[in-house]
Amino acid sequence: MPLYDYACPACATEFDAFRPMSDAARPSPCPACGTAAPRRISAPRLAGLSKAALAAHATNERASHEPRRSSHVCGPGCSHGGGSKGFSAVAEKPAMKTFPAKRPWMFSH
């Protein structure tokens, strides 16, 4: 359940309450005086997150609208080795392994 902020109009108490998302728009009873307190709009609590969680949120946000793509412009079979190294969405596997030493006629599984 999410944590919502409330402000009591009767006694000016500000408090937090865990409420189901279905009750997000409904007022919550004030713990000090019992008056129905409307929800207060506040900023997200990102300062309490760990660096790993913040990095994960940033990665997810970036990945949602800016997928990484390869910027290499040459076609298949390019062997010049130049260009920028980018991320390829589809990894190409070789049809068979090459064995420079012994038994070049054997295939691996």
Q: Which has more confidence, 81 or 27?
A: 27
pLDDT for residue 57: 78
Placement of tokens 């390019």 in the chain: 78
What pLDDT is recorded for position 31? 92
Per-residue pLDDT tens for 25-39?
A: 899 999 999 999 999
Q: Report the first-to-last Cα separation within the chain, whole angstroms.
A: 50
User: What does the pLDDT look like over 11-25, one tens digit per residue?
Assistant: 999 999 999 999 988
Residue with the bigger pLDDT between 1 and 39: it is 39
Cα 36 to its chain centre, rounded Å, is 36
